[in-house]
Chain A
């Protein structure tokens, strides 16, 4: 089996993989980073979104071998080392942007990618950007609200809590 090497959440990571090993399998099974989830097999739900070289990708639709040499960031790499939540994570808690938590890692990673591209997105931009992230619990209301809040925008006037 070939070996793959990459940087995950700032630390070197390597492991023996097969050609067919998906990036998400490498993260979950080889590295034990189980925060990245698998919710579908047709690249639509987005529970597996991670950043590869700074860009959001679906870790279930990329082979581990393709991440050779890449900088990978997962949900486990978002908070500070002392446990302080990333502002997006904090906004999700403050605005109840999660319920069962299963889609949440992908949502947070997609939100981070969005805010990197567009620091103060409109509501429509946020909704459009989340096209590839399904949530079955929240009806998206508080996810969109949390992302707008994380961007520093005033969300106090958004339709009642």
Chain B
């Protein structure tokens, strides 16, 4: 790692102030950032550590029934405390491993938008609202391609609001080495329709599978997906699977998610 200073603000306001000057970078749980720093792939002058900000941690239910999760809430906390949204709790409980889940945060994961991460699928699949230090961003507008989001410099995710669906399931097919999603599909059924978000598969990062959404909105059953397939064009192709394989897996995982959602 290159040398840098660490600041540990206790409030969002102090964090924003600290992030506003010089070559700074926000440090969530650090489970991705620290390995990146070890490789010397980033050279911030200062890290602003968000883990000490109490107001960014915890889970509550909003008046409209949405589940509100502080941006600094760890995966372990969500796994244990998001009982109101079981599919989300299950997803959080299978990110990385237990030690990673004790440090990694939802805000950090969404801000990084790794194309193989799980949380982007949940946020997009739930039509969540990402609340930052200065605005609210709909998930549909938040994810802008691999490792790219609508966040601006110095802006941090303070909360994520998940509308709670009638039924939902996340099915992850793991890449054998990293255990990130080779393909992960989040399916959520709302009164207004079904959302299907696919992570791990596309070169464009997490995306919604609109044909599947339409089919499932009229008939929420695995059979409704019959004949639907994603194109292999634009899918990630690497050591662990071709684009065609990922496209195929997305179909399988979607069916399984619908079946599991019941």
A–B contact via C-beta, under 8 angstroms? yes
Pair A43/B98 contact, Cβ less than 8 Å: no
Q: A55 and B35 in contact (CB under 8 A), knowing A20-B4, A113-B98, A132-B100?
A: no
Q: Give the number of A-B contacts (CB < 8 Å).
A: 80
In the bound complex, how far is the Cα of B5 from the Cα of A20, in angstroms?
7
A129 and B100 CA atoms in complex are apart in Å by 11
Of A18, A61, A131, the contact of B34 (CB 8 Å cutoff): A61
User: Are A56 and B8 also in contact (CB < 8 A) when A18-B3, A66-B51 are?
Assistant: no
B62 at the interface (CB under 8 A from A): no
What is the bound-complex CA distance between A37 and B103, given in angstroms?
19
Q: B98 near A56 (CB under 8 angstroms)? A: yes
Given contacts A20-B37, A43-B35, A114-B98, contact A61 B3 (CB under 8 A): no
Q: Which range holds the interface residue count of chain A?
A: 20 to 34
Is A27 interfacial (CB 8 A cutoff)?
Answer: no
Name the interface residues of B16-57: CB closer than 8 Å to any CB of A: 27, 30-31, 34-35, 37-39, 46-47, 49, 51
Beyond A22-B34, A63-B27, A65-B8, 17 extra complex contacts between A and B, CB < 8 Å? A19-B3, A19-B4, A19-B46, A41-B38, A43-B34, A46-B97, A49-B99, A58-B99, A58-B100, A61-B30, A61-B103, A63-B34, A63-B47, A63-B49, A66-B6, A66-B30, A129-B97
Task: Say yes or no: is B117 at the interface (Cβ < 8 Å to chain A).
Answer: no
Given the complex, which residues of A lie within 8 Å of B98, measured CB to CB?
A: 56, 110, 113-114, 129, 131-132
Query: Which residue of the partner chain A has the closest CB to B44?
Result: A19
What sequence of 0s and 1s flags, for each residue 33-52 of chain A, a beta carbon within 8 Å of any chain B beta carbon? 00000000111101001001
**A41 lies within 8 A of B35 (CB):** yes
Given contacts A41-B38, A62-B34, contact A19 B5 (CB under 8 A): yes
Q: Compute how far the CA of A34 lies from the CA of B76 in the bound complex, rounded to whole angstroms.
A: 28
Contact B3–A131 (Cβ < 8 Å):
no
Q: Is B1 an interface residue (CB 8 A)?
A: yes
How many chain B residues touch A (CB < 8 A): the figure is: 29
Contact, CB under 8 Å: B30 / A20: no
A5 to nearest B CB, angstroms?
A: 13
* A63 / chain B contacts, CB cutoff of 8 Å: 6, 27, 30, 34, 47, 49
Q: Is the beta-carbon distance between B49 and A43 smaller than 8 angstroms?
A: no
Query: Does A57 sit within 8 A of B, measured CB to CB?
Result: yes
Residues of A within 8 A of B (CB): 18-20, 22, 41-44, 46, 49, 52, 55-58, 60-63, 65-66, 68, 110, 113-114, 129, 131-133
- Can you list 29 pairs linking A and B with CB atoms under 8 Å apart? A19-B5, A19-B46, A19-B47, A20-B1, A20-B2, A41-B38, A41-B39, A43-B100, A44-B178, A55-B76, A55-B102, A56-B99, A57-B99, A58-B99, A58-B103, A61-B30, A61-B35, A62-B34, A63-B6, A63-B30, A63-B34, A65-B8, A68-B8, A114-B98, A129-B98, A131-B96, A132-B96, A132-B98, A132-B100
**Which residues on the A side are within 8 Å of B1 (C-beta)?**
20
